[in-house]
Structure 1
Amino acid sequence: MEEAVESEAVRRRLAVAVIVAAALATALLLWAKWVPYGAKVPGLAGSGVWPGSDILRTGGVRAGDAPSWGAATSFTGAYARAVWRALLAALLISAALQTLVPRAWLLRLLNRPGRLQSALAGGLAGTPSMMCTCCTAPVAVGLRRRGANIAAVVAYWLGNPLLNPAVIVFLLLVAPWQWTATRLVVGALVVVGGAALVSRIAEGRSPAVPVVVDEVEDQGPSLRRYQAVLLRLGVTLVPEYLVVVMLVGAFRGWLLPLGPGPASGLLLVVVAALLGTALVIPTAGEIPVAQGMALAGLSLGGVGALLVTLPAVSLPGMVMVWRAFGWRVTVATAGVAAAGGVLAAGMLVLLTR
């Protein structure tokens, strides 16, 4: 009898913790993502013009400019102002997933039979949060530490930026329909098929890739553990994130030379895909970048590559996840994103003919 009462008390405590985690995530996403993005739609629908500027040009940096402290600080400041809400939300949500939601529940949701099914579950789970690649990294790290498989976690990480419904709507309102179609089709292929492929590459020789799981994962929800995990995430992820963002900002003048020039055709597309994979932008930042590059003379292939690679992966995001993912998964994910950029280039050219 006492055991039954105790078991019921444990179940009730777990249910309350899950409700708290869900309420926290919903409130944070409303504050950081859903309400601000919803407020943008009427203005974009009326004007058909994106109001923001290209963040890569912040501080007056032009293609070919040498690295400088001013370039680093101006970019980091502009980027931080654009993403701080989402990054804070991601840290708080990640800590909640690691300490308030039972591990078995998460694994039941994400670890499906077969890589494609797991990738589909991860991609669908990531779509509502609509975060950029760096802001979603803490949540992806938390999911991996809880034991979610590679296909699901990589799809979650990629699905947040690539299948962001707000950005899809923004593209429909301010860009040619071919841009939206390319982003949707190639984005879905990269998120589901790419994540499954990354899982296959990583697990090819050893199906059970080690997962770093918290030692106290079965102790049940607690505020103390929540605070400890949140502190660990902030101390380990945020400083390295800011350092890499500053480096990208400092060197962006050397990363910008895309447009008319000696490189053309497939070579230009590959260069655009690689640069897009390295650069970091806030959510929807690819729209003004791609529009500006197109006006400057970048080919349709180059624009298509940027539409996928700029949001999908970035150097700061890769630095944030590599310890939890492992170097093979991180590099393979970047490779899949770059390959998706090349595919997007071809699709956009075909659709625009």
Structure 2
Amino acid sequence: MSSNPIESAAVPTAKRFPAWKPLLFLAILCVGLYWVKWDPYYHKAFVAIEKHDIGKSILADSYDSPWQAMWQYAQVYFLAIWKAAVLGIVLGSLVQILLPPDWIVRFLGRSRLGSHLVATLAALPGMMCTCCAAPVAVGLYRARASASASVTYWVANPVLNPATLVFMYFVLGGGFTLLRVVFGVVLVFGAAWLVGRLAERREVSGGRDTALPGDTTVRGSANGAAGLAAGSVTESNAALDRTGATALPRVAANTGGVSVNTTLAAAQAAADAEARKPFLQRWLPALWQLFLSTVPVYVITVLALSLARVWLFPHVDGALGDGVLWIVFFAVVGTLFVIPTAAEIPIVQGMLALGLGTGSAGALLLTLPSVSLPSLLMMRDVLGTRLLWTVAGWVALVGVLAGLVAYWV
């Protein structure tokens, strides 16, 4: 038995978490994903196998007026994603309420490869687009997942989507699919590493106090480890985070040898009083705050990009769409533009038929699904301005590299 009173307190606190809550979350997750993703994609896979096609490009229609084009694209886009968007917001709020806080801290609370692998494995069954995965990633972060693990979950959902890879293989061929897998892994884990390093610098400064959410203060450097070992974790009077729930201590990106069990115990202690509140009293504020922080900016930026798509995706002919400059152009455009899940496949298929070069196609296959301007802004609470631009730049860079490989090979 541990001699640390805080570490020892974690065990009985964890046992008090009602078992029905994670079971309810699992049931909602499975039913929602079956309705929104698993069943539709199962049937679409047979269409891809038989016809080597999954439908026309969402960019195929042309209109005389940019305003008409904006309205039409926004209408088609929102009709395609609304179920997944609703599911993402519901799951992003429930993950803060129905999962034991020590689970999130233990498995996703550190900027380490282990947390990134867990986040990737959790993302694979979700198969969400970047905008629908963003609310879940925000919810995980508010539940005390690390920024890097939250970003890993967010990016892995669209990039390593197994259904999309199946569609891609039968529609575009094995070469593009292999390109997507290889550079997709580089993109996901490279983004996790970059965010982890920058978050570490943001959260921990050598020798100074590290303020954790909820005014929980950990003394920095070696003194911090010693202080935590002695149980010197202090918390203010029921500090509240932005969701209206009691703030939980977050595991710093660089723990400096501090026992994770100590932080888990502090997280459990901070959540214990909050957990006694009725379910709806906790869930509805979390749902409302997540809605306010993601949906308005999402809708506005989708409408803006719908208006701009005429200029972002110029008409393709034999003289346009290949070479290094075009690869860079389409990598940047793909990073900013917003599409539904797997829509990059018919987009690239149609543009290749019109004369798009393989280099530009490779860049679009990596960047179009990975992130978008709306999803980046939805993740602003997790990333902050500096990390937001870092992730966007990394996605564009990997897209350029993938395009160059496709162009030369």
Above 0.5 in TM-score?
A: yes
Q: C-alpha distance in 2, partners of 1:320/1:249?
A: 17
Of 265, 274, 277, which aligns to 2:332? 274
Instruction: Find the counterpart in structure 1 of residue 395 from structure 2.
Output: 337
Pick the structure with greater CA Rg: 2
- Kept in 1, the 8 Å contact 2:321–2:327? The answer is no
Aligned pair in 2 of structure 1 residues 170, 209: CA closer, same or farther (>3 Å)?
Answer: farther
Using the TM superposition, give the Cα deviation of residue 346 of structure 1 relative to its aligned residue in structure 2, in angstroms.
2.5
Using the TM superposition, give the Cα deviation of residue 210 of structure 1 relative to its aligned residue in structure 2, in angstroms.
6.5
Q: C-alpha distance in 2, partners of 1:210/1:289?
A: 44
Instruction: Find the counterpart in structure 1 of residue 121 from structure 2.
Output: 124
* 1:57 alignment partner AA: A
- Kept in 1, the 8 Å contact 2:53–2:346? The answer is no
- Kept in 2, the 8 Å contact 1:116–1:151? The answer is no
- Kept in 2, the 8 Å contact 1:202–1:328? The answer is no
Say whether 1:227 aligns with 2:289.
no
Instruction: Find the counterpart in structure 2 of residue 4 from structure 1.
Output: none
Q: C-alpha distance in 1, partners of 2:117/2:161?
A: 15
Say whether 1:33 aligns with 2:37.
yes
Query: Within 5 Å, which residues of 2 pair with 1:90-101?
Result: 90-101=88-99
- Kept in 2, the 8 Å contact 1:141–1:325? The answer is no
* 2:59 alignment partner AA: L
Of 305, 312, 315, which aligns to 1:248? 305
Say whether 1:157 aligns with 2:143.
no
Using the TM superposition, give the Cα deviation of residue 239 of structure 1 relative to its aligned residue in structure 2, in angstroms.
2.0
Instruction: Find the counterpart in structure 1 of residue 57 from structure 2.
Output: 54
Aligned pair in 2 of structure 1 residues 341, 102: CA closer, same or farther (>3 Å)?
Answer: same
SS at match of 1:123: helix
Say whether 1:80 aligns with 2:78.
yes
Query: Within 5 Å, which residues of 2 pair with 1:1-353?
Result: 11=15, 13-50=17-54, 52-58=55-61, 60-61=62-63, 68-112=66-110, 115-204=112-201, 206-207=203-204, 214=243, 215-216=245-246, 218=271, 219-220=274-275, 222-257=279-314, 259=316, 260-261=318-319, 264-350=322-408, 353=409
Q: C-alpha distance in 2, partners of 1:263/1:45?
A: 28
Using the TM superposition, give the Cα deviation of residue 97 of structure 1 relative to its aligned residue in structure 2, in angstroms.
0.1
SS at match of 2:201: coil
Q: C-alpha distance in 2, partners of 1:111/1:102?
A: 13
Using the TM superposition, give the Cα deviation of residue 230 of structure 1 relative to its aligned residue in structure 2, in angstroms.
1.4
For this pair of structures, how many residues does the alignment match?
Answer: 338
- Kept in 1, the 8 Å contact 2:321–2:356? The answer is no
Q: C-alpha distance in 2, partners of 1:49/1:240?
A: 33
The answer to which structure, 1 or 2, has the higher relative contact order (CA under 8 A, 6+ apart) is 1
- Kept in 2, the 8 Å contact 1:140–1:156? The answer is yes
- Kept in 1, the 8 Å contact 2:129–2:340? The answer is yes
- Kept in 2, the 8 Å contact 1:199–1:329? The answer is no
Query: What is the TM-score of this pair, normalised by structure 1?
Result: 0.89
* 1:20 alignment partner AA: L
Using the TM superposition, give the Cα deviation of residue 103 of structure 1 relative to its aligned residue in structure 2, in angstroms.
1.7
Aligned pair in 2 of structure 1 residues 199, 165: CA closer, same or farther (>3 Å)?
Answer: same
Q: C-alpha distance in 2, partners of 1:48/1:56?
A: 19
Aligned pair in 2 of structure 1 residues 319, 205: CA closer, same or farther (>3 Å)?
Answer: closer
Per-residue CA shift, 1:13-39, capped at 9, x if unaligned? 521111111111111111111111011
Q: C-alpha distance in 2, partners of 1:186/1:209?
A: 36
- Kept in 2, the 8 Å contact 1:137–1:320? The answer is yes
SS at match of 1:26: helix
- Kept in 2, the 8 Å contact 1:306–1:341? The answer is yes
- Kept in 1, the 8 Å contact 2:322–2:356? The answer is no
Using the TM superposition, give the Cα deviation of residue 199 of structure 1 relative to its aligned residue in structure 2, in angstroms.
2.1
Q: C-alpha distance in 2, partners of 1:264/1:44?
A: 27
Query: What is the TM-score of this pair, normalised by structure 2?
Result: 0.77
Q: Which runs of 5+ in 2 are unaligned?
A: 1-10, 205-209, 214-240, 248-270
- Kept in 1, the 8 Å contact 2:148–2:196? The answer is yes
- Kept in 2, the 8 Å contact 1:41–1:170? The answer is yes
Per-residue CA shift, 1:180-212, capped at 9, x if unaligned? 000001001111122212321343354369666
SS at match of 1:136: helix
- Kept in 2, the 8 Å contact 1:300–1:349? The answer is yes
Q: C-alpha distance in 2, partners of 1:85/1:209?
A: 38
Q: C-alpha distance in 1, partners of 2:321/2:52?
A: 32
Using the TM superposition, give the Cα deviation of residue 349 of structure 1 relative to its aligned residue in structure 2, in angstroms.
3.2
Q: C-alpha distance in 1, partners of 2:288/2:332?
A: 34
* 1:241 alignment partner AA: Y
Instruction: Find the counterpart in structure 1 of residue 254 from structure 2.
Output: none
Q: Which runs of 5+ in 1 are unaligned?
A: 1-6
- Kept in 2, the 8 Å contact 1:140–1:153? The answer is yes
Using the TM superposition, give the Cα deviation of residue 139 of structure 1 relative to its aligned residue in structure 2, in angstroms.
0.5
* 2:368 alignment partner AA: L
- Kept in 1, the 8 Å contact 2:94–2:283? The answer is yes
* 1:125 alignment partner AA: A
Using the TM superposition, give the Cα deviation of residue 121 of structure 1 relative to its aligned residue in structure 2, in angstroms.
2.3
Using the TM superposition, give the Cα deviation of residue 177 of structure 1 relative to its aligned residue in structure 2, in angstroms.
0.7
* 1:42 alignment partner AA: F
Q: C-alpha distance in 2, partners of 1:258/1:339?
A: 24
Using the TM superposition, give the Cα deviation of residue 156 of structure 1 relative to its aligned residue in structure 2, in angstroms.
0.6
Instruction: Find the counterpart in structure 2 of residue 3 from structure 1.
Output: none
Per-residue CA shift, 1:60-118, capped at 9, x if unaligned? 24xxx77x322221111100110011001101111110111122111212134x53333
Per-residue CA shift, 1:148-204, capped at 9, x if unaligned? 112211111100000000000101111121010000010011111222123213433
